[in-house]
């Protein structure tokens, strides 16, 4: 007779697992674009959804804890040979098992979506981030079991759910990063860049906190008096102390650290070279002809760039690209199916700066002039970035009107003269000097 099987059938564990799978997988598939880029994006997005799943596990545990209390089996079970702690193991085990399996099933549901497109698999990090997520659910459920048995009121489960949401939310926005990282299962999971990871020391600290919560829940659940219930504070305090001692204080490690291997470039074997990050390697084939089309347009310029690289800089990094290194850097975007997003924008993005990267410092960049010059190289009439460049939702109409006027002026010039002026703009951009009037020939 399988006791765990009996427990699974009679307790709320299966229901809790089912809710976890439905809510977790449902949330995942509502916005596949958030995690379709790769394995770590998937692992972190599921961790992020612990904002929902963690309070649910807490409430499910409390619900089961209340049921345990209401069953009034205490007297009958007390007269049996198994010690109290052992008697509680089936329900604790059933809850832990179903929630861990449910978390893994949500992960598997996501893997099914990305398996054919995702390339870079940092196995250890992926396993650790996923494992700590599952542990977080177990910690929540066991804590809920303990509290639900101690306070077996109807309101306990919903109150704990609300408290869980508030705890996670407030810990992220109100606590110092190092403390939030040590106690919040969603800290550091919001995606800011494609190479994002969670440092294993941060995962370790969180695992300690969650294991401590689980231990506290276990003590509360098996407690037969206030002495044991009070003792449940010990693992909480101990866990917090150890977790905060272990967690790193370096902001760069705590917040959206980069996985350097994911950011490494992988390139085409033949020239002109096109490179993307390892995490986006699956779109290299789709990107290459588009990037080369852009390079071909730029090749009209003397000393033109000869390669296109994915722009792997992140908001948090100090990397600055050199404007004169012969490489055009463009963002690579992944669509919700894991393929190349917005392919129509690639050629424009390669050409639009005339091959001169923006270093974030130069104040002499001019959208009108650059657009007119770029579209002259592309032999197309300029058009607004809105609808072409992803993320552009608004643009002053005058920009394109003026760009078209400049472009028409270039078109009326002899080819060599027009090319000289466009080249002069490119050279000015490289030097960060004023480009006003270069295309129209009015510059002094």
Partner 1 sequence: MMRAVSAAETAVTTHPWAVHAEGLRVRAGRHLAVDGLDLALLSGVHGLLGPNGAGKTTLIRALATVLNPAGGRLTLLGRPVDGRSDLRSVRRTLGYLPQHFGFYPRFTVREFVGYMAWLKEMPKAGVAAAVQRSIDRVGLTSKADARLKTLSGGMLRRAGIAQAIVNDPQLLLLDEPTVGLDPEQRLDFRDLLRDLGTDSCVLVSTHLVEDVVAACTDVLVLNEGRLVWQGTPEGLTTQGDQGDAGDSPAERGYSAVLRRHRAEAAQ
Would you tell me which residues interact with partner 1 (CB under 8 A)?
A: 1, 3, 6, 9-11, 71-83, 86-87, 89
**430: Cα separation from own chain's centroid:** 34
- Report, in Å, the least distance between residue 95 CB and partner 1: 15
Residue (15 or 339) nearer to partner 1, CB: 15
Phi, psi for 251 (deg, rounded to 5): -60, -35
- Report, in Å, the least distance between residue 78 CB and partner 1: 6
User: Quick check: helix, strand or coil at residue 54?
Assistant: helix
- Report, in Å, the least distance between residue 80 CB and partner 1: 4
* 98: nearest Cα among 26, 21, 14: 14
Q: H or E segment at 274? A: strand 273-277
CA distances from 280 to 19, 249, 287, 339, 435 (A): 33, 30, 10, 9, 35
CB 355 within 8 A of CB 300: no
Residue (9 or 408) nearer to partner 1, CB: 9
- Report, in Å, the least distance between residue 207 CB and partner 1: 23
- Report, in Å, the least distance between residue 96 CB and partner 1: 16
Phi, psi for 330 (deg, rounded to 5): -130, 150
**310: Cα separation from own chain's centroid:** 18
- Report, in Å, the least distance between residue 71 CB and partner 1: 5
- Report, in Å, the least distance between residue 153 CB and partner 1: 18
Q: How far apart are CA 259 and CA 264, in angstroms?
A: 9
Residue (80 or 322) nearer to partner 1, CB: 80
Residue (70 or 408) nearer to partner 1, CB: 70
Residue (89 or 101) nearer to partner 1, CB: 89
CB 195 within 8 A of CB 263: yes
- Report, in Å, the least distance between residue 284 CB and partner 1: 54
- Report, in Å, the least distance between residue 93 CB and partner 1: 11
Give me the residues paired with residue 61 across strands: none
CB 334 within 8 A of CB 35: no
Q: How far apart are CA 330 and CA 349, in angstroms?
A: 6
Q: How far apart are CA 141 and CA 152, in angstroms?
A: 15
Give me the residues paired with residue 328 across strands: 308
Residue (1 or 30) nearer to partner 1, CB: 1
Reply yes or no: is the peptide bond before residue 76 cis, omega within 30 of 0: no
Helices marked H in 120-155: 123-150
CB 194 within 8 A of CB 277: yes
Residue (67 or 380) nearer to partner 1, CB: 67
* 245: nearest Cα among 336, 329, 150, 181: 181
* Residues 390-401 as b or e (16 or more Cβ within 10 Å = b): eeeeeeeeebbe
């Amino acid at each position: 007779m399988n006791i765990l099987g009996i427990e699974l059938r009679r307790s709320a564990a299966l229901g809790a697992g089912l809710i976890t799978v439905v809510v977790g997988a449902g949330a995942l598939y509502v916005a596949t674009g958030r995690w379709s880029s790769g394995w770590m994006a998937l692992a972190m997005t599921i961790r992020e959804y612990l904002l929902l799943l963690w309070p649910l596990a807490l409430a499910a545990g409390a619900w089961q804890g209340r049921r345990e209390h209401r069953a009034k089996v205490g007297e009958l079970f007390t007269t049996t040979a198994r010690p109290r702690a052992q008697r509680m193991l089936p329900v604790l085990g059933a809850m832990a098992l179903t929630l861990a399996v449910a978390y893994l099933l949500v992960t598997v549901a996501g893997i099914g979506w990305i398996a054919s497109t995702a390339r870079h698999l940092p196995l250890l990090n992926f396993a650790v981030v996923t494992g700590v997520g599952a542990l977080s659910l177990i910690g929540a459920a066991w804590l809920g079991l303990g509290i639900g048995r101690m306070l077996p009121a109807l309101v306990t489960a919903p109150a704990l759910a609300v408290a869980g949401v508030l705890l996670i939310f407030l810990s992220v926005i109100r606590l110092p990063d190092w403390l939030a990282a040590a106690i919040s299962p969603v800290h550091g999971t919001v995606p800011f860049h494609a190479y994002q990871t969670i440092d294993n020391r941060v995962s370790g600290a969180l695992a300690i906190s969650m294991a401590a919560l689980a231990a506290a829940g276990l003590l509360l659940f098996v407690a037969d008096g206030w002495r044991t219930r009070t003792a449940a504070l010990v693992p909480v305090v101990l866990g917090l102390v150890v977790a905060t001692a272990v967690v790193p204080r370096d902001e760069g490690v705590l917040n959206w650290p980069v996985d350097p291997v994911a950011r490494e470039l992988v390139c085409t074997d033949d020239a002109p070279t096109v490179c993307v990050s390892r995490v986006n390697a699956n779109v290299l084939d789709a990107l290459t002809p588009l990037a080369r089309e852009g390079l071909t347009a730029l090749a009209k310029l003397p000393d033109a760039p000869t390669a296109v690289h994915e722009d792997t800089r992140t908001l948090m990094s100090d990397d600055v690209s050199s404007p004169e290194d012969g490489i055009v850097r463009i963002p690579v975007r992944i669509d919700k199916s894991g393929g190349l997003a917005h392919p129509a924008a690639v050629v424009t993005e390669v050409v639009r700066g005339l091959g001169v990267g923006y270093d974030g410092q130069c104040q002499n960049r001019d959208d009108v002039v650059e657009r007119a010059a770029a579209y002259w190289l592309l032999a197309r009439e300029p058009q607004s970035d809105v609808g072409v460049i992803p993320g552009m939702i608004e643009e002053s109409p005058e920009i394109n009107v003026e760009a078209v006027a400049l472009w028409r002026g270039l078109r009326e010039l002899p080819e060599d003269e027009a090319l000289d002026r466009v080249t002069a703009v490119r050279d000015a951009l490289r030097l960060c000097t004023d480009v006003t009037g270069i295309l129209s020939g009015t510059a002094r």
